Amino acid sequence: MVSSFSAAHHQASTLYLPPGSWPTVLECLCEHFKAISREQWLDRIARGRVLDGEGNAIRADLPYREGLRIHYFREVPDEKPIPVVESILYADEHLVVADKPHFLPVTPAGEYVEQTLLRRLIRRLDNPHLVPLHRIDRHTAGLVLFSANPDSRSAYQALFPTRQIEKHYQAIAPALPGLSFPRVHKSRMIDGEPFFRMCEGPGEPNTETAIEVLERNGELWRYGLSPVTGKKHQLRVHMNALGAGICNDPFYPDVLRDVEDDYANPLKLLAQGLRFNDPLSGQERVFESRITLQW
């Protein structure tokens, strides 16, 4: 029986040791997870990546006991480093604001575990209680808010579904001289093909984005995008629907198959600004990314 463990332990997984006659927990783990070698388990144990029910690192000779609760961290062997560096713009006991570079995922998924913004910040700040309050795509750069304290987390989480937080993005995309700006784009977004894409479909709108032109540079314009809703890929789909797919987008208008990350030519989309009233102090908070989208 495997279940998710609390975010306070870096998104560990939990195993209740099954019935058996192993002398040690190590032997049980080797038998239970046949795809993971004994050497890998010994390495994880030596690095404190296998914990008991109290959250303490186990020893390799810990005796086996049926039903014992063990927490372990999923790892991707030979995980490829992502050669970008995040920065921390603000940190207090409740809130952390990070500037995420392009290509770095926010949370572990698929082939990325350690090479994620969450894991990097947990290590940098030595705070296993960090939890992202929202997400941006791996290909998008810019601001991400993290809760740093479980006691105040719900107050910050409530800002998002109640739309008490203003989010401002910038994008570089082809010019749209035939359209008038500023404008509001509303549409119904549904799951697309392949499975990781979204598309617009018929029916009542469930997404809304305010769009303005910030700068004109020949055939490319810098757009200001302010999403009212927060659907997956919303800004990318909305710009593509207007006829101006965001520059270097590997998914829209077409999926670029088997494309390697091109660090010199990232998706030209930036989560540039956040504004909200702090739910604890009542003070207005304004954060701006230090990343700039280059033409």
Angle at 249 between CA 105 and CA 179, to 5 degrees: 130
CA 124 to each of CA 17, 30, 85, 105, 235: distance values in angstroms, whole numbers, following the listed order? 32, 31, 12, 16, 31
SS3 9: helix
pLDDT tens, N- to C-terminus, the chain (295 residues): 443 334 334 467 888 999 999 999 999 999 988 878 888 899 889 888 899 988 888 999 999 999 999 998 777 666 788 999 999 999 999 999 999 999 999 998 777 878 899 989 988 998 888 999 999 999 999 999 999 999 999 999 999 988 899 999 999 999 999 999 999 999 999 999 988 899 999 999 999 999 999 999 999 999 999 999 999 999 999 999 999 999 999 999 999 876 788 999 999 999 999 999 999 999 999 999 999 999 9
pLDDT attached to residue 136: 95
What DSSP state is assigned to residue 45? H
Question: What's residue 203's pLDDT?
Answer: 96
> In this structure, are residues 128 and 9 in contact, taking their beta carbons and an 8 Å threshold?
yes
pLDDT at 13: 81
Cis preceding linkage at 182, omega within 30: yes
Written out in words, the top-level CATH class of the domain with range 87-288 is alpha beta
Tell me how far apart the alpha carbons of residues 95 and 138 are, in angstroms, rounded to a whole number.
Answer: 21
CATH architecture for segment(s) 2-72: Roll (3.10)
Q: Where in the chain is the domain with CATH 3.30.2350.10?
A: 87-288
pTM above 0.85, yes or no: no
**Per-residue confidence (pLDDT) for residue 8, from 0 to 100:** 39
Question: What confidence score (pLDDT) does residue 118 get?
Answer: 92
> Which CA distances in Å does 89 have to 159, 199, 216, 254, 273?
20, 34, 29, 35, 12
Spatial distance between the Cα atoms of 33 and 44, rounded to a whole number of angstroms: 13
